[in-house]
A and B are shown apart, each in its own frame.
Chain A
């Protein structure tokens, strides 16, 4: 595809359930970033990947959050035992590499609602 694709676009889940959010970056982009945006708030950095490795996981809010990337392409963000405060839009972005002089391309996000 031409851009960053995220699925599902919307997800409603019950408190305590696990959810998986998927991100398909632009082909060939080695850098991939996850952010979340709570209602009316700014973007909060969660984690980034360089290839398949995640050098910095410090932005993940708790150990219920994990992410992986396989084949240097698709990434999955998993939230276990979801809580209501996890409700937010989860955004994925990719860049050709982790340089200062590159642009990041964002997906449309996954809106997660925990009821």
Chain B
């Protein structure tokens, strides 16, 4: 499975934008970039995914570099509820059942 690299932790202030980076230099042409987050004591929650173009949904935006070797998850206005571990995952055809392979993720702390 192609791997991703994320910072272990990041901090933000409430109501400010947050940019969570992810490097995936070995990404292949058919890999989708997925983001999930896990709030304390809960199962992971889907955030967003994309292939080549930037994506927006009600939760966040995903900015994908032109060479696809990195991406950034953007939370436009962080709230206390956004404090979670954020996982950047490459979903690729080589993984059986297209399973999600979780790394360590980025622990996001949101300060009031």
Contacts and interface: CB of A to CB of B under 8 A. Distances in A.
Interface of A: 4, 31, 33, 35, 42-43, 45, 48, 50, 55-56, 58, 91, 93, 95, 98-109
The DSSP consensus for interface residues of chain B is loop
B99 A101 contact: no
Contacts of B96: 48, 55-56, 58
Interface string B43-73: 1111001010000000000000000000000
Contacts, number: 62
23 contacts: A33-B97, A33-B99, A42-B102, A42-B105, A45-B99, A45-B100, A48-B96, A48-B97, A50-B97, A55-B96, A55-B97, A56-B96, A58-B96, A95-B98, A100-B31, A100-B92, A100-B93, A101-B32, A101-B49, A103-B49, A106-B43, A106-B45, A107-B43
A48 to B, nearest CB: 4
Given A33-B99, A35-B102, A100-B32, 9 more contacts: A42-B102, A48-B96, A91-B43, A99-B98, A100-B92, A101-B49, A106-B44, A106-B45, A109-B43
A102 B32 CA distance: 10
Contacts of B45: 106
Nearest to B49: A103
B46 A105 contact: yes
A27 to B, nearest CB: 18
